[in-house]
Every structure is written in structure tokens, then in C-alpha cells.
Amino acid sequence: MENASRHDAVRIPLPADERMKRIFGLECEYGLTFSPNGRVYLPIEKILGYIFEGLIPNSWPSNAFLTNGARFYQDTGCHPEYSTPECDDIFDLVAHEKAGERILESCLPLAEERLREEGLAGDIYIFKNNTDSLGNTYGCHENFLMRRDIDFWKVAEQLIPFFVTRQIFSGAGKVLKVSGKPQYFLSQRAQHIHEKTSSSTTSSRSIINTRDEPHADAERYRRLHIILGDSNMSEFASYLKVGTADLILSMIEEGCVVRGMALEDPVKAIRDISRDPTLRKKVRLDDGRELSALDIQRVYLEKAADFLRARPEEKLKADVFNEWERVLNALEENPLRLVREIDWVTKHWLIQSYVDCKGCGWDDPRVAMMDLQYHDVNRKRGLYYLLQAHDKTTKLVDERVIERAMSVPPQDTRAKVRGDFIRFARAKNRSYTVDWTYLKLNGYWEETILCMDPFCAFNRRVNELASQVPAASP
């Protein structure tokens, strides 16, 4: 593996209009709990079944694709997981990731009604966070389609210092006890990362996952799978988290090398940075230097500035760059300027304001409850959404766009073909099987349609089937 990273890969020149294209995806696992009105134990599996019922009536699938092209399924540990459809625009991605929250929220009333029918009154809570009270963790994975002709290991080595330090603006914040005393951490996932790279997402969580599963033409593309990030409530934090990673990846793909940033111990560095909200902690590099997370981020920022000067047509990436620079400046001068935008800052301010108002300490049980309630997807009780209701958060995507994304896929990626196929199959009461790269009508008129190009939003055969296949008898 290391030997391969020492040699330059042969680059296949791409047309200018394809050079900067990217497919993005987010996979978000949610925490799930039931608070009964009485002493009734109910297995989480049953609650999750009711949530699935509300989403897909008359079925209890463990893996279901939706009409918006997204995938909704049960992950390890009885966590509902929502994978966005393929998006080629960051704002589309933010909208479809938020649509996942809204879809789960919309399932709650019916699920709770089903419980009442069984005489089990209580409240179901769904949290968009990354840890539970027992110390278990569940993730928010980022996916970036990248070029196959680039040396993956060279890309990974250059990206690791960026991802380790990115938590200073992408972290969701977490109150943890250290030696019996509460301490505020920048990231919920950082303490659960064990390796630089690994093919596993559970037993040996890594900064960069190496599983080679592109869900596309494997000769041309590879999927960069990032599993160290937090789930963000803030739309702006999601935008900046994904946007900066896309910018750095594009820069590396085009041959702009980031040298001299290798960390001596990336796993130790990610944990040390997380436990210092003052952002002053320095981590050791391979060459013996010690730099803060802000210092390292600024090195990448300067490289990105050089990259973009030669590409004035890249307006969206330039916007990401400008916001990134503004955020780094604010973090250095006064992080409180980023209340409304950055989750860990917003949550810290919210809790500190409460502690000051009540005259209690950070070890007060109500603080632990606030730490959790910030992530409640129910907009009537989640603290993030109560802030939003009082115009104390930055909103990037109109709510009407999010509502549309709950049922309508992106219109310029493969997700549109998948969504159209599912819609017509359901309308005609036909059994079907769907995955990221294929569509299949089961039984009569059985046919498998391959969809290997994630940028292609049209499939002639799907359109033909929609007009030719008769409706099945009820």
C-alpha cells in the first residue's frame, strides 16, 4: 500500500466541462428511543417497524428505496439510516439530507398512534446525533465520486490532515465526562476513530474508509467514503463540511499537491483537537513541527486560493472558499461570531447561556438533556429547531425545497431515473427490486436495467416500460 503511494498515477485528461463534476451523497444514522407513559418495555425493533410502516405502508422492509431516489433502511443496532440520492450540487445535497429528517419526523404521529392501538402510550424520539448514553456511536458518512486514474493512497495521505482538523467547523459538539468532570468536545465522532484508513466502518473506524465500492463505472470512478464526520443540524455546517472537502479533492485531482502536512499520529491528533474548544491545542507533524488545527486548515486554504485563481469560472467553489476563509477568521478571533452557523459553537453558547441563567454547573443533569435535545428532529421540541423558530440559525435552503425533496429526486442525476421507476412501478402495483446501479421489475415482464452512469438522468428503457407495462390486478 505504501509503495503504491510513492508513484504518480497516469492521468487520463478529461474534457474541461467534466473536470469539476462530482456526485455527492450523505448517509445519516439516527438515534431512536421510546419514552413510555408507564413501565412498559418495548423492543426498539418494534418501534422501528412502526416507523417503516408510516413510510412504506403494508410492508416492513429492511432496505427500501424511495420515490425521491434515497435509500431508507435499518442499520446495525436498530438505527434508522437515510442515504440521500445522488446529488451533483451541494445545495441539493443539503436539501435532500434535511428531507431525510423531515421524512422520519413525518413517520412519528402514525408510529405513536400504532403504539396507542396496542395500549402502549408514549413518545418516540429520533435524534440526529452520533452517540448514545451507553457510549455507542453511529455515523454520518460522506461520499464523493472521484476519478479512478488518480492514486487513491496519495489522495488519502493529503486529505487526512484536512479531515482531522475540519472538526473545528464541522463538529456537532458533545458534553462528556473526563475523570468524573464534564468537558465540552468539538466532535461526537472523534473519540471513536481508531485508524487512519480501514475497510471497516464498525470494528475499526477510520478517518478514510478504503472499501472500493463505486456504485458506478469501476473503470472510470471510485467512491471516496469518509466516516469520521458528525451529523450536522446546521445547514450551513453541512454545506461547508462537504463543500470544502470537494474543493480540496478537486484540487488534488488536478495535480495540486499539499506537501509537508502529514501528522505524526492522526488518531491521537483528532482526539486532542476535539477536546480543546479554545482551538489552541497543537499537534505534532511527521517533520517535528507543531501546529494548531487552525494553522493546518490555513495551509489548505492558501493552496485552495492558488488553485481557484487559475479557475475564475468556478463560482460555486469560490463561494465555498470565501465562507471557509470567513469561518476560520471568526474561529481565530471570536468563535461566538459563528453562533447560528456552526453546531458546536451554537450548542456551547446555548448551554452556557442556560448555565449562567440558572446558576447551575455543567454537571447538572439538565445540561446532558440539552446536549441531546439539540439533535431532536421533531421541530416542535428539538432545541435546534426552537432556535430556528426564533430566527437564531442560518437557513440556506427554503423549506419548500426541502418538502419537495421528500418525494422528488434531483433532476440531473441517476436518482431521477430511480425515482421515476419506483413511482411507475408502485402506480401499476408491480413488484420491483432496486439498488444504486440497477432497476428490476419482478415476475411478469421481468427485466433488469443497469444504471452505471450516476450523472445520467434519463433512461429510455424505463420510459418505455412506464408506458408499456400494464397495471397488475389488485
For the stretch 62-85, pLDDT in tens is 458 999 999 998 877 678 999 999
Interval 190-231: pLDDT, tens: 999 988 887 766 656 888 989 899 999 999 999 999 999 999
Q: Scanning the structure block, which residue is given the C-alpha cell 413518545?
A: 123
**Least confident segment among 17-21, 406-410, 441-445:** 17-21
Q: Is a pLDDT exceeding 90 seen at residue 53?
A: no
Strand ranges across the sheet with 79-83: 63-65, 71-75, 79-83, 24-29, 140-147, 221-226, 206-209, 195-198
Cell of 356: 449562567
Q: How large is the average pLDDT for residues 306-326?
A: 96
Q: Residue 224's pLDDT is what? A: 96
Q: Is a pLDDT exceeding 70 seen at residue 402?
A: yes
Q: For the chain, what percent of residues have pLDDT higher than 90? A: 74
Report DSSP letters for 181-220, one per residue: EEEEES-SSGGG--EEEES-SSTT-EEEE-----SS-TTT
Higher pLDDT, 406 or 10: 406
Q: Which of 8, 17, 75, 412 is catalytic?
A: 75
Going from N- to C-terminal start, the domains of the chain cover: 4-11+21-37+65-94+130-403, 411-468
Interval 335-383: pLDDT, tens: 999 999 999 999 999 999 999 999 999 999 999 999 999 999 999 999 9
Q: Residue 358's pLDDT is what? A: 97
Please give the backbone phi and psi of residue 145, each rounded to the nearest 5 degrees, phi first: -70, 130
Strands (E), 232-387: 282-284, 290-292
Whether 75 is catalytic is yes
Q: Is a pLDDT exceeding 50 seen at residue 48?
A: yes
Q: Is a pLDDT exceeding 50 seen at residue 11?
A: no
What's the predicted TM-score (pTM) here?
0.92
Kindly report the CATH number that applies to the domain delimited by 4-11+21-37+65-94+130-403: 3.30.590
Distance, CA of 150 to chain centre: 24
Q: Residue 16's pLDDT is what? A: 42
Q: How large is the average pLDDT for residues 261-277?
A: 97
Interval 140-184: pLDDT, tens: 999 999 999 999 999 999 999 999 999 999 999 999 999 999 999
Residue 5 binned pLDDT confidence (cut-offs 50, 70, 90): very low
Q: Residue 446's pLDDT is what? A: 79
- Per the prediction, the chain carries an average pLDDT of 90
